[in-house]
Chains A and B, each alone.
Chain A
Amino acid sequence: MEVDTELIKVLEEFLNEKVVIAYASGFEEKKLLRGLEFLSMGAEAIIAKCLFLDIDAVIKWRFPKPYMPAELDREFRRNRTITEVKALIKALSLGINVPIPLYTEPDEGLLIMTYIDGFVLRDIIDRISLDKVCEICRNVGVYTAKLHENSIVHGDVTTSNVMLDKVTGKIYLIDFGLTNFVKRIEDQAIDVHIFFRSIESAHHNVEDIAKKCFIEGYRSVKGSYTDKVLRIVDNIRKMGRYVAERKIKSVWVMQ
């Protein structure tokens, strides 16, 4: 893949850089960044694993999009990188499990953060127990509500952006690339709508339980405010083209 080689070019300086660690007994010279290994390519960024200062880390590089006008592309990559770092730090302070940012270079669209050794919910949701699905979705609901409580909307809460740590079983929320710092209820409803949509479009079998448990989690933080959000979620869904049930009340609000 050509994006791989482009990333190595961007990282060239880093890969050659060394740090000197001073001990009482003497000095040790170490490479700043090593063990680069490509993990995956997403729609807007490529993810690689590495050792950064001896910490297991991932590099998220928002690569240039040749189909975009260069100036617009640069601005998007820069802004989204900065926003992501800010959001990650805020989320950490709220006690939400997210990767810890270690280093960033916004003009390059580069972000280095701690590595999570885990499974992506999208890949495992069809082969884990319904109880587990419920537990995870309830957590995602709690996380989403906590973010909303603090004027953050994640912007892309999908099953691709939830991870389960292989060892500790901790549930992580990742990819804050589309995050916004707003407290409008409409934006919060869109977060919920996006999660529902990601469940409906790819995991039809667990749709009911996943939504129900997400709402439970959300409600445990936001209480009756949840119903207001769900009412707007309903309206958003009716804005889609050709929705037949424009007048039917949603089952989720009536519960």
Chain B
Amino acid sequence: MIILGIESTAHTFGVGIVRDSEENFVLADVRTKYEPKEGGIHPREASRFFAEKGPETLRIALGEAGINPKELNAIAVALGPGMGPCLRVGATIARTIASYLGKPLVPVNHAVAHIEIGLKITKLKDPVVVYLSGGNTAIVALVNKRYRVFGETLDIALGNLLDSFARDVGLAPPYVVNGMHVVDICAEKGSRILNNFPYVVRGQDVSFSGLYTAAMKAFKKGVDIHDICLTLREIAYNSVLEVAARALMHTKKREIMVVGGVAASPVLREKLEMLAKRYGAELGVVPPNYAVDNGIMIAWTGLLMYKSGITIEPRRAVVNQRWRVDEVDIVWR
């Protein structure tokens, strides 16, 4: 069985081709990334970029896999959550090739795909999932055939907090240098934790907007930037870790898995290792190459879904910018 998956939820247009196999399941993995010269991702600009580069990305992927498109069993596409204009480019391309080739179309949730590729790579069975990226901060675990949200951010995401702060104080772009986020690098020279930065954990939820405001205020007052970075990072990371520990104890699961772009942070990873040890759990960190947005994860999740008989008519395959992870029935687990 061979499945082609298309990812276009934010800054990456990715095409992945996978086959149903334990090892060497990736036949092709091509990613075209939109990198704005300044500021964050503008959805319109990103979608224009996707429309321009999409067909070429697809062609390269098919060439890499060395297959005739007719050999594909199904086309999978991320229909959400994400930025509308970006999602529509991927959806349009997927609907077109599915119709043209007469192949079934599989609707994939981007967040579910992050989890599924993580499970495939880390070989964990039933972990508490810590999903950290630019747009998402959520602690998720499988209960009764759904990835239920145990805790999430009530305002901005962790990646968004770090990126926005770095950008607004002039540390970025680039956001990541040698695999480290610039806020992590800046924090290394910090020497003290500042007072009066809000640590907000409400039950299982976190909130970062107040932290961002406190950090910007301190910056404008001329407080040492390294101390601000250190405080911001420690409070942000630790609030996520506290919620993760709670989910671990609440669900009584013995594994913890980190997915999403922020998972690449070595500082966070070290903290998670200590946390896992403290609570007697096994830790799996999805390697950066698979933790960031890519087409492989869409294709792989599409494969699991297709094997369970989930497909969608192309004319019904509309995008959903706010498609929550807990709205998807996980029938294959």
Kindly specify which of B21-29, B166-174, B275-283, B304-312 makes contact with the partner chain: B275-283
> In the complex the two chains form, is A69's CB within 8 Å of B234's CB?
yes
> In the complex the two chains form, is B148's CB within 8 Å of A201's CB?
yes
Residues of B within 8 A of A41 (CB): 249, 279
**B12 sits at the interface (CB 8 A):** no
> In the complex the two chains form, is A43's CB within 8 Å of B245's CB?
yes
Given A69-B193, A241-B324, A3 and B143 contact (CB-CB distance below 8 Å): no
Which A residues from 217 to 254 make CB contacts under 8 A with B? 236, 239-244, 246
**Within the assembled complex, what's the spacing in Å between the Cα atoms of A77 and B150?**
23
**A67 sits at the interface (CB 8 A):** yes
**Within the assembled complex, what's the spacing in Å between the Cα atoms of A202 and B142?**
10
Which applies to chain B's interface (DSSP): helix, strand, loop or mixed?
A: mixed
> In the complex the two chains form, is B193's CB within 8 Å of A243's CB?
no
> In the complex the two chains form, is A241's CB within 8 Å of B238's CB?
no
Residues of A within 8 A of B203 (CB): 155-158, 178, 190, 193-194, 197-198
> In the complex the two chains form, is A241's CB within 8 Å of B153's CB?
yes
Kindly specify which of B35-43, B58-66, B212-220, B315-323 makes contact with the partner chain: B315-323
> In the complex the two chains form, is B322's CB within 8 Å of A242's CB?
yes
> In the complex the two chains form, is B274's CB within 8 Å of A67's CB?
yes
**B80 sits at the interface (CB 8 A):** yes
Of B136, B201, B251, B324, the contact of A178 (CB 8 Å cutoff): B201
**Closest chain B CB from A134 CB (angstroms):** 21
**Within the assembled complex, what's the spacing in Å between the Cα atoms of A236 and B152?**
12
Which A residues from 48 to 70 make CB contacts under 8 A with B? 65-69
Of B80, B202, B251, the contact of A242 (CB 8 Å cutoff): B80
**Within the assembled complex, what's the spacing in Å between the Cα atoms of A43 and B280?**
11
**Closest chain A CB from B273 CB (angstroms):** 8
Closest residue of A by beta carbon distance from B243: A43
**Closest chain B CB from A96 CB (angstroms):** 19
**Within the assembled complex, what's the spacing in Å between the Cα atoms of A44 and B278?**
11
> In the complex the two chains form, is B249's CB within 8 Å of A67's CB?
no
**A42 sits at the interface (CB 8 A):** yes
Of B235, B242, B250, B322, the contact of A158 (CB 8 Å cutoff): B250
Residues of A within 8 A of B270 (CB): 67
> In the complex the two chains form, is B238's CB within 8 Å of A67's CB?
yes
**B271 sits at the interface (CB 8 A):** yes
Q: Number of A-B pairs whose CB atoms are under 8 Å?
A: 105
**Closest chain A CB from B265 CB (angstroms):** 13
**Within the assembled complex, what's the spacing in Å between the Cα atoms of A78 and B248?**
23
Closest residue of A by beta carbon distance from B268: A67
Closest residue of A by beta carbon distance from B151: A197
**Within the assembled complex, what's the spacing in Å between the Cα atoms of A122 and B271?**
29
Residues of B within 8 A of A43 (CB): 242, 245-246, 248-250, 279
> In the complex the two chains form, is B250's CB within 8 Å of A72's CB?
no
Closest residue of B by beta carbon distance from A71: B193
**Closest chain B CB from A1 CB (angstroms):** 7
**A204 sits at the interface (CB 8 A):** yes
**A151 sits at the interface (CB 8 A):** no
Residues of A within 8 A of B279 (CB): 41, 43
**Within the assembled complex, what's the spacing in Å between the Cα atoms of A198 and B141?**
13
Given A65-B278, A160-B250, A201-B150, A243 and B201 contact (CB-CB distance below 8 Å): no
**B67 sits at the interface (CB 8 A):** no
> In the complex the two chains form, is B323's CB within 8 Å of A242's CB?
yes
**Within the assembled complex, what's the spacing in Å between the Cα atoms of A72 and B157?**
22
Given A3-B278, A44-B242, A239 and B202 contact (CB-CB distance below 8 Å): no
Of B144, B152, B199, the contact of A204 (CB 8 Å cutoff): B144
**B154 sits at the interface (CB 8 A):** yes
> In the complex the two chains form, is A240's CB within 8 Å of B149's CB?
yes
Given A204-B144, A240-B149, A242-B81, A197 and B324 contact (CB-CB distance below 8 Å): no
Of B80, B138, B154, the contact of A236 (CB 8 Å cutoff): B154
Question: Residues of A at under 8 Å CB distance from B?
Answer: 1, 3, 41-44, 65-69, 71-72, 76, 122, 155-158, 160, 178, 190, 193-194, 197-198, 200-202, 204, 236, 239-244, 246
Q: Which are the 9 A-B pairs with shortest beta-carbon distances?
A: A194-B203, A242-B322, A67-B271, A43-B245, A43-B246, A67-B274, A242-B81, A201-B148, A66-B274
27 A-B residue pairings within 8 Å (CB atoms): A3-B278, A41-B249, A42-B249, A43-B242, A43-B245, A44-B246, A66-B274, A71-B193, A72-B238, A155-B203, A190-B205, A193-B203, A194-B205, A197-B150, A197-B203, A198-B203, A202-B250, A202-B251, A239-B154, A240-B149, A240-B152, A240-B324, A241-B138, A241-B152, A242-B80, A243-B322, A244-B322
